[in-house]
Structures are given as C-alpha cells and as structure tokens.
Chains A and B, each alone.
Chain A
Amino acid sequence: MTPETEEELAGIIKGADGPLRIEGGGTRPLGRSSNAARLSTARLRGITLYEPGALTLVAGAGTPLAEIAEALAAEDQRLAFEPMDHRGLLGTEGVPTLGGVVAANVSGPRRIQAGAARDFLLGVRFVDGQGRIIRNGGRVMKNVTGYDLVKLMAGSYGTLGVLTEVALKVLPAPRCTGVLRLEGLHDADAIDALCRALGSPYEVTGAAHLPPNEGGAPVTLIRLEGSEASVAYRAAEMQALLAGFGAFTLDTDPERCAADWAHVRDVAPFQGRAGDVWRLSVTPSHAPAIVADLPGTEAIYDWGGGLIWLLVPEGAGAGAPEIHAAVATRGGHAMRIRGDRSRAMFPPLAATVAALQDGLRRKFDPRGILNPGLMTPMETP
C-alpha cells in the first residue's frame, strides 16, 4: 500500500485489520521481521520548504535522501549528521528516504561533533496507530512548546506512528576537508589518541579506527573540516599534539577524504562478509577492553570509540550473552544489526524502562498493528 496523501495514510491505518510493516525505501530492514502487509511512504515525497538563510528544510517522509542532498548541495549546505547508507552492509536495494532515516535515528561519524538525526529535527507530522494525524514541533530551532514528541519519534522505528513530514535543520558544507591518518596503532593506543584529539580545541568531526584488511595494518583516522587555512592550522596542531603516537599524515584531497569517511560510515570492511554484525554504543575509553573481551570478532571503532561495529563470524565464541556481558559492566548497550531476523535484535532493557516503552506503545498503537515485535528487546542476560 502506497498512499499519496497523509489523509489516505490515516485512512489505511484506521481501517487496518491486521499488522502493518512500515517502509520508506526498504533499505534498512532492522529488528525482528514479520510478514505483515507492507505500508510504504514512498509517495509522500517532495521538498515543501527550503530556506538556506534560516538553515531550514521541510520535506515529505518519503523523499529520497539523494533528492534532499542535491537540493542542499546546490546551496553549499548539507545534512550534517551524514546518515549511514545501510544497503551495502545489509545487502538491500531500494532508495533511502528521509522518514526512514528519522525513524531509525540514523547518523554517521560526524555524530560526535554535530549530533545524530534527532538533533537536527525541528518538527514532525505523523499518523499514529489510532489513525490520528499528529503534529509536534514546528520549523524553528528553538521550540519548547509542550512535550518533545519529535525526539520520541526519532528512533522509534515506526512502532508509534508513521512519519509523513519532517522539518530539519541543515548546516553549511565546509569548503575543505582534511583527514589525518596513522597506521599501526593497537586498539587501546588508537582510542587513547582519538580521545585526546576529541578533547582538544581543534574541533574534530570524525574519529575512527579500522582493523587491518588482508595483511595490512590498522588505520586511525581523524577528520577536520572548515576553511583551507583553518584545516591546515588545526591539522598541524593536531599532529603536534599526537606526535607521541606517531606521525599522522594529512590528506586534503576532497574525493579521497569523502571516500574515507563513507567507508567508515557505511561499515564497508564488513560488507559482503559472512557473520552477524552488532552495533555497540559505549563509553569511548572502555571500547578496547570490551572488544578484548570478545575474541574472534573484528571491530571498527567510530565516534572516538563511542560506537563499535562488531563482525561476529559464525562459530566465534561471542554470542549475545557474551556481548551483553562485556557491555553491561562498563555501561552502554548492544544491538544486532545483521543476523537472524526471526529473533529479537534490540538491546535488553531494565524492567522499569521496558514498562515505559510498553506503555507508550499501548497509547500510540493500542491495537499493536505498527511494526509489531520489531523493537522487542533481547533477553536480559
């Protein structure tokens, strides 16, 4: 089902007699699967407002991200949270949409400096499981009128409502990008270096550490963006600051830099390789110890260590219990992004928190028809 208007969508939901699977571009089948009827937002598309001087863009939830990126690029602006493109990692096709990015609170390496999708949302329109058309927020940055359901919708994976329209804050695209690169650091040293970099006044917009690929060496990457002069200055300061770890080299070629970070953003090293992929959100300085607790896995560190992508080959000793145990003692949580979709994939929740989630779902989707079971948490170990 692919409604063309918000009213049509509301009608479908009101009249639904069974579970619905909400879909934007279908590129991101996360969480437990189901055979419910497909409800697509693909036709709720189009940019309805774009004011570069106010850093504001409003578009239908079904608008392809590419269309938005193009419109923004024409004004030297961009979506600063650089959402991940899941297609490579999950082996899917389709066209990523704005609504999907918001529903899954997708972000990228720049989250450490700029924020995630939720930090750029100004307002939403959605249809909840009762068929109510609901508006929250607006189109201005400073808005504390009533409760912030915009944040609630972000990352709720369509289980509370179907997004129809999104208002976003956009930012200018910098003129220049520089990437500092060092090979050969062990995980612990790499994270140490990245923490130092992020604690400096030189505004780092990307901090990642990649495992070696096929006999190569691990690579530590730091991104700086701004004017040419600013990037050059900050890179030099950063090289001096981190000299104790080794000699970081600077690359300012725009295409190579963009490719480097797309590589990190889209978890390229794990694409096309067998095994489950987990996504861990942790306290950065604890990341190496967590990974060390999980032998046989391969790790990509992003967000200076705050995000760990873990490739868990079959037969490796690290299953859900081991991963949760490694994270539990140090704070954070783990989600299985790629793996058996018949089982729960979301992180376990404390009973009190789960109770609140269930309560919210009962309010917004009393019949339980929107992506039922998708966000079921894994068993608490």
Chain B
Amino acid sequence: MQMPEPNPAILSRKADLVARLRKVLPEGAVIDDVAETRAYECDALTAYKCPPMAVILPGSTEEVSRALAICHEMGVPVVPRGSGTSLAGGALPTADSVILGVARMAEVIETDYTNRVIRVQTGRTNLSVTGAVEEEGFFYAPDPSSQLACAIAGNIAMNSGGAHCLKYGVTTNNLLGVTLVQMDGTVMELGGAHLDAAGYDLLGLICGSEGQLGVVTEATLRILRKPEGARPVLIGFDSSEVAGACVSDIIKAGVLPVAIEFMDRPCIRACEAFAHAGYPDCEALLIVEVEGSDAEIDEQLGLIEAIARRHDPVELRQSRSAEESAAIWKGRKSAFGAMGQINDYMCLDGTIPISQLPHVLRRIGEMSKEYGLGVANVFHAGDGNMHPLILYDANKPGDLELCEEFGAEILKLCVEVGGCLTGEHGVGIEKRDLMAYQYGPDDLAAQMDVKDVFDPGWLLNPAKVFPLDASDARRIA
C-alpha cells in the first residue's frame, strides 16, 4: 500500500511544532514520545502502520481550532481519529502527520426529548448515545457492529450504517447538525434541531467525507422512541439462491423488517460453536426481525413465515422469549469474534443489488478455490451490503498479499454487477486504489474539487479516499 513520502521539511520542525501545540493545549494533551506515538500507528486495519510525528488529544472545540490553526500555518498534515476502529485504515497516519484524537470530548451536551434530538461531543461512543437516552425509552438508530466502541466522529466521517439501517437509515439520515472546525481553525455551525438545510446540503456532504473536509467536534443527532417490542425469526435454507429469493419476496410483499441478516455455512458453524445459539447446520441462514406491539409482530411474522414456507426452508423458528431472541442475535453479533478465534481474516465491505446475490456468492466460491483461501459470508441482506470474511494466516509470508488480491477481485465484482466498493466501512486506504474502477476521472475530479473548497491545502487526512496519482497535483501544490 503506497503512502506519500513524509516531508523532510516538516519532520525537521517537529520540536517547534510540539512546543507550539503545548502552548495551546492542556498538559498531557500532546504526545510526542516515540514509545507512545507507536500505539497510534494504525487503527483496526493492522496490516498497515506508520507512527505519526505527534498525537494531540484536545478537550474542546476551542482547543481543536487552535491546534489546527498551528498545523495549518506550519503545513503539517492532520489525521483525525475517533476510537480507531476503522477497518479501512481511515486513521492511518503518515510519518509527518499529527493524529488528532477526539476521545477526550465525549460529553452529552443536551438531550431534548420533546423535539427528539440529542447534542453530543463527537468523541462519544455510538452505543453510549443510546445509553444516554434509553432510560427515557429512546435510542439512536444507526448501529454499526462496532457500536460499543466506535465514536460518533467516526460514524459521521464514514456515514456508518448497521443492521437497523434498513428501516432507520444510516448516519446521514439521522444527523441534523454539526460544529465543524476547518483546517485553518475556522469554526462553524451547520444545521441544528431543525430538519432542512438553509442552502446547500453541506451536512450531507460532510457526512461520509472521511475526515477530509473538517473536524466535527459536536453533533446534533435524531433520537427515536423505542418500539414496543421486537422479535426475530430464524429461517434456514439449503441454498443461498433460495435465501436470496426469499429476501426479495419478503420485500416485494410490502413487509419492511427492521433487519434482515444473512450468514452462510462456514459462518453459521463458527458462530454456533462459539455462541451456541441453536443455529441449524445448513447452507444459508436468515435472521429477520420486526418491531411493534406483540400483535403487530405476530401479524408481520405471520406474513414472513408464509412467504418463507413457499421456499421450503429447512428450519423456520420464531423466537418465543427474550432469552431466545438474545441468543439468536448473539450468534450473529459474535460472527467476527467467532471467526477470529478460528483464524486470521480480512473483512470486506461491498454492496450489490439483492438480485445479484446468488451469482456473486457463486463467483466468490469459485474464486475461493482459485486463491486457496476460505471465505465465510455474513451480510445485511435487506440492502445488499456484504461482508465476506477471507480467511488467511497473518504469520504466513505472502498470505496477506494474496488475501488482498482476492479481496480486490471481490470488490471489483461488486462494482461489475451494479453495486459499489464499500457500503459502510468507507474507502480509507483499503479501497483507495480501486476508486478508479467505480468512478471515472471526471467523477473523481468533482469530489476532489469539493475538498479543494473546504481544505485548499489538502492537509486533512490527505492520503485517503482518492488514488494518489489522481490527487497528486492537489496534494503537492
């Protein structure tokens, strides 16, 4: 993975930079000891690491603004970091960059149940936003699998989704306002507790911009009242094709479940061994969940079961208790951990049209044999967002490269069938070099034009998202 060469002029000014940052930040907020910066050399994509020149941990918007202004003046690139859970290398530093971590800004600023919004500092974890409002019976809807640990800042940067987004939308559909600090230190407020933008939808533009347009320090988020109840149904099939057809039929029938999750045999086996949820040993498994009152749930599940039966499932089991529901979900939610206990793996994130599911799974199976690497598939069937887990051995030389090659082929396949490279994880560095496969030169230029407007010096997280050769002229200008 190519990263730009660090700028020697910047490296030579490290001491000066650190001294100036220490003047505007509290004690303990600037880390430059080589033994310590190492811990920030990567996020959850450990294949690529590079210790930054320094790390700053500001505690307020004001401190972020002052620190960025200094870095801007000195031409130092800045890489924002939430909880460092990115699987795409979104927070990977270069040796001449400063990591700006937002973990010390994690307060709830205000909850407004009447207007159903909450204002938080963006270092707060996703799940603890729900934690702040659940006693009143509310929740924050976007629920990525890493929600326990991932920060709202990262959610906004990557426009994170989750199993519930089939019904409730992703981050950009639940984000109402931000405090944005630009690279030169300018602080601005966008949006608020009202729904429409006053001019251009800058919020929509910032959400998903992977920390390249500005640092978001505060956010106004929609909170929703929790439904009265929820219940999953487990449907097992002896073919993924049939499972895919069943998903399609459920949607066509007008039922809108809150989540539809899919797992294939390798994944089912690993999860069952780990979580003992009572999964059948079959080719494909669907977990479909609906919400509402008990009667509403019964009605919806009745419809779903009728549809499922038309496809001759090998297992069809509604949960009959809260414990059973928890067990059914526990298996799915522990998929990554369960696989991890068996093997090293690389988790991909592509989206495909649902109708292409059988074809794509078949092709992945074929490629798996070609590459000699096993694949377990788990994904959000309702919206076609796939997470193939490619199994490899991190300690075996050459395996990682093979794995990456295989992964790239899968993502290209996703694009070929009308999908896209990434549904939730973002581009980061992981898919940067595949961007030209999905977008033409003008498409990419238009996106880079936007960055020119927000960060003309290309100092914020510069080596991500856009292929290096495409962004060369603008980064080095």
Contacts and interface: CB of A to CB of B under 8 A. Distances in A.
Q: Indicate yes or no for A touching B, C-beta below 8 A.
A: yes
A56 interface: yes
Nearest to A141: B383
A147 B420 CA distance: 13
Nearest to A156: B200
A303 B195 contact: yes
Nearest to B425: A144
A144 B159 contact: yes
A148 B296 contact: no
A377 B198 CA distance: 9
A215 interface: no
A322 B293 CA distance: 46
B362 interface: no
B196 interface: yes
Interface centre among A145, A200, A364 (most CB of B within 10 A): A145
A119 B450 contact: no
Given A52-B252, A149-B205, A230 B422 contact: no
B17 interface: no
B116 A140 contact: no
Contact of A132 (B355, B380, B439, B445): B445
A306 B355 contact: no
A142 B383 contact: yes
A19 to B, nearest CB: 19
B252 A332 contact: no
A195 B424 contact: no
A243 interface: no
B254 A172 contact: yes
A111 B112 CA distance: 19
A325 interface: no
A173 B256 CA distance: 10
B424 A144 contact: yes
B353 A142 contact: no
A94 B228 CA distance: 45
Given A285-B115, A363-B449, A333 B204 contact: no
B354 A53 contact: yes
A56 B255 CA distance: 15
Q: A interface, by DSSP: helix, strand, loop or mixed?
A: mixed
B161 interface: yes
B130 to A, nearest CB: 15
Contact of B439 (A55, A135, A160, A229): A135
Interface stretch (B169-177, B337-345, B364-372): B169-177
Contact of A353 (B166, B199, B385, B445): B199
Contacts of A354: 199
Interface stretch (A38-46, A180-188, A261-269, A342-350): A342-350
Contacts of B443: 134-136
Interface stretch (A1-9, A276-284, A293-301): A276-284
A173 B254 contact: yes
Interface stretch (B46-54, B61-69, B182-190, B312-320): B182-190
Contacts of A283: 115, 192-194
A149 B446 contact: yes
Contacts of A255: none
| 8 A-B pairs closest in CB distance | A151-B204, A142-B423, A53-B248, A172-B254, A359-B453, A281-B196, A142-B385, A363-B449
Given A149-B205, A149-B446, 5 more contacts: A111-B195, A136-B446, A154-B201, A172-B256, A230-B292
Interface of B: 112-116, 137, 158-159, 161, 165-166, 169-170, 172-173, 186-190, 192-205, 207-209, 225-228, 247-249, 251-256, 292-293, 295-296, 299, 351-355, 380, 383-385, 418-427, 431, 435, 438-440, 442-447, 449-454, 465-466
Interface of A: 51-56, 75-76, 105, 111-112, 115-116, 118-119, 128, 132-136, 138-152, 154-156, 160, 171-175, 195, 198-201, 203, 226-227, 229-230, 233, 281-285, 303, 306-307, 331-333, 335, 346-350, 352-354, 356-357, 359-360, 363-364, 375, 377
11 contacts: A75-B252, A105-B196, A138-B418, A140-B351, A144-B422, A144-B423, A171-B256, A230-B296, A307-B195, A353-B190, A360-B453
